[in-house]
Amino acid sequence: MAAKDPLGVRWRTSTYSGTGGGQCVQVMRWARGVRVRDSTAPDGAALRFPAGAWAAFVVAAVGRCL
């Protein structure tokens, strides 16, 4: 699923989140990596991760090393 903010930025929500409107994180790519925000607070702050740090996180999450 994807959501657009007023600036036209496309945020992505995991398909595992379903459509129930639960608490999820959303991610979007940006010039230097990835931004992550809380889907229940889209106007709130977003965390920024460099591309390498995000890639390491995904590898660890997929490998269940977290």
Give pLDDT, residue 36: 93
Smallest CA-to-CA distance from 5 within 42, 45, 44 is with 42
Structure tokens at 39: 């889907």
Mean pLDDT, the chain, rounded, equals: 82
Among 10-14, 33-37, 47-51, the minimum mean pLDDT is found in: 10-14
Cα-atom radius of gyration of the chain, to the nearest Å? Answer: 12
Give pLDDT, residue 56: 94
pLDDT confidence bin for 33, thresholds 50/70/90: very high
